[in-house]
Structure 1
Amino acid sequence: MAANRKLLAAAAACAAAVIGVTGCSSDSDGAKDPFEGMSADKIAKKAVNASKGAGSFKVSGQGEEDGKKVQIDFAVAKSGDCQGKTGSATTGFGEILVVDKTSYFKGDAQFWKNTGSSAMGDKLKGRWMKSPNGEDSKACDKDEMFNSAKLKGLKREKDAEVDGEKTAVLTKKTGKKQLTYYVALDGEPYFLRIEEKGADPTKMNFGDYGKSVVVKAPPADEVIEQKDLKDLLGG
């Protein structure tokens, strides 16, 4: 199942937040900085708490895996259920549903071929593969996505805008990677964008915090149990 876990890996890795060095800057229009006097680690911690505390959110963007660009679009419900899509013409397109800690995967022929499972693609055409309870169910785990324990060594840069919204900009360099986190300056201090530059660049935009997300399991006649695939594959 390691290949399947890559379905939302870029988004999940991107959504893990980071924190660190002190530093503050003022808004260009002279408005009061809500983070005035706060260290970068405290700003990021507030963003972690607010983003995770919203319960639900959506994230979309583009990442790279082994030099191949993939689009990512998924939503996480307050319950922890989630639904997501990822892929490209090169890698194929795949979907994931997590409902009550049970995971379902679906992909086109190119998606399964790209994960080294062409035979599975033939048998699963138009259907969902159901994983055992608990397996892969952490694909949309908010505690993993917004993990303050990993937030060390950030520096606050000059404020910037994300889609017209003012944000505090926090950065961190790790080897050849540069991580940039954009935290809303107005209203709740949500993460609005997270970028990673390096070997596998990623840009994710977050939004719709607190809005309803409903995820339903696929119809039973469209589902194949993972344990039954062995028989279908002639194993």
Structure 2
Amino acid sequence: MSGFRRVASALAAGAASALLAGFGAPAGNGIEDESARVIVDRARAELAGARSVHMVAQVQDAAGSTVLDLRLDVNGNCAGRVGLPKGGGSAEMVKRGQDIWLKPDTAFLKSQVPGPAGEDAAALINDRWIHGSAENVLLRGLTQVCDLSGFQRKYAAQPVSENLTKGGTATVDGASAITVTGRDGADTATYYVATEGKPRLLRVEGVENGQRGRADFSDYNEPVPAGTPPPQESVDLSDLR
């Protein structure tokens, strides 16, 4: 084999090896060998440092189940959906900067605006998006829902006070995880922390103050979709008052 052919063959073999390596399983991060406290602290640190995240949360209480499915970032942008308990309906929502769009279904509108006024609102909106400012008092609650930085300050960055016990392995949406369970009086929380790639918090579930909840976290640092509803499919909030 000529020198050129030998070099070409070696380059081809190296390229093939690199390509196959790219399809290999993610490398283990060794977090499962750490103490329960270190596992939870590192996972919460990952969440506290995230620039954006996809959060799917569900809370069950006496009123029923409230569901939140949002992609949100530290700049206050978000996009997703919220569902209310006991037939309260659901609404899509988009926040970009200081602008908020909300697309409620009829059940959502009637649960928030009871009586004939709800019927009138549904007819006026006519399956369009409601557009308003984040500073509007009626939309202020949605602004807080989209505040990843606030969530990080109040939850992700705060130390855990529970007594922690390391558990076994689990799978969250196809990702391998190690579990840690914390107990603080009657409250319990189980943390699922990724054992491949970065030790990110994938799920936390448990009971607090009698409310059962679960939150899944994925797509760390993936940008929030930048698209906003077109003007022809929106109605300004000021036109509804």
- TM-score, normalized by length of structure 1? 0.69
Match of 2:144 among 111, 114, 138: 138
CA 224–176 in structure 1, closer or farther in 2 if over 3 Å, else same: farther
In the TM superposition, what is the alpha-carbon distance from 1:61 to its structure 2 partner?
Answer: 5.0
| Contact map agreement 1:171 1:178 (CA 8 A) in 2 | yes
Q: Given residue 91 of structure 1, which amino acid in structure 2 is its aligned partner?
A: G
- Cα shift readout 1:1-52 (whole Å, capped 9, x = no counterpart): xxxxxxxxxxxxxxxxxxxxxxxxxxxxxx8843655562x54332233234
Whether 1:153 and 2:150 are equivalent positions in the alignment is no
Moved more, 127-136 or 186-195: 127-136
Distance 1:37 1:49 in 2: 15
Q: Any idea what the Cα deviations from partners look like across 1:83-132, whole Å, max 9, x if unmatched?
A: 11132782212111111132221211101222245243343231222332
Segment of structure 1 superposing worse, 214-223 or 129-138: 129-138
Structure 2 counterparts to residues 198-217 of structure 1, below 5 A: 199-217=210-228
Matches within 5 A, 1:115-194: 115-117=112-114, 118=118, 119-134=120-135, 135=140, 136-146=142-152, 147=155, 148-149=157-158, 151-163=160-172, 164-174=174-184, 176-194=186-204
Corresponding residue of 1:14:
none
Are the structure 2 counterparts of residues 154 and 104 from structure 1 closer, same or farther at C-alpha, using a change threshold of 3 Å?
Answer: farther
The structure-2 alpha-carbon separation of the partners of 1:141 and 1:216, relative to structure 1 and needing over 3 Å to count, comes to: same
Query: How many Å separate the matches in 2 of 1:133 and 1:94?
Result: 17
Cα distance change on mapping 1:105 and 1:173 into 2, 3 Å: farther
List aligned pairs for 1:22-171, cutoff 5 A.
Answer: 33-34=30-31, 36=33, 38=35, 40=37, 42-64=38-60, 66-77=62-73, 79-87=75-83, 90-117=87-114, 118=118, 119-134=120-135, 135=140, 136-146=142-152, 147=155, 148-149=157-158, 151-163=160-172, 164-171=174-181
**Larger helix fraction of residues:** 2
Could you say what secondary structure the match of 2:192 adopts?
strand
**TM-aligned CA distance change 1:112 to 1:186, over 3 Å:** same
Question: Could you tell me the percent identity over the aligned residues?
Answer: 22
- Give the match's secondary structure for 1:57: strand
d(CA) in 2 for partners of 1:95 and 1:76?
14
Structure 2 stretches of 5 or more lacking a match?
A: 1-27
Q: Return the alpha-carbon distance in structure 1 between the equivalents of residues 29 and 78 of structure 2.
A: 37
CA separation in 2, counterparts of 1:162 and 1:222? 41
Render the CA deviation track for 1:184-205: whole Å, top value 9, x for unaligned: 1222121111213364322222
Q: Calculate the aligned-residue CA RMSD, in Å.
A: 3.0
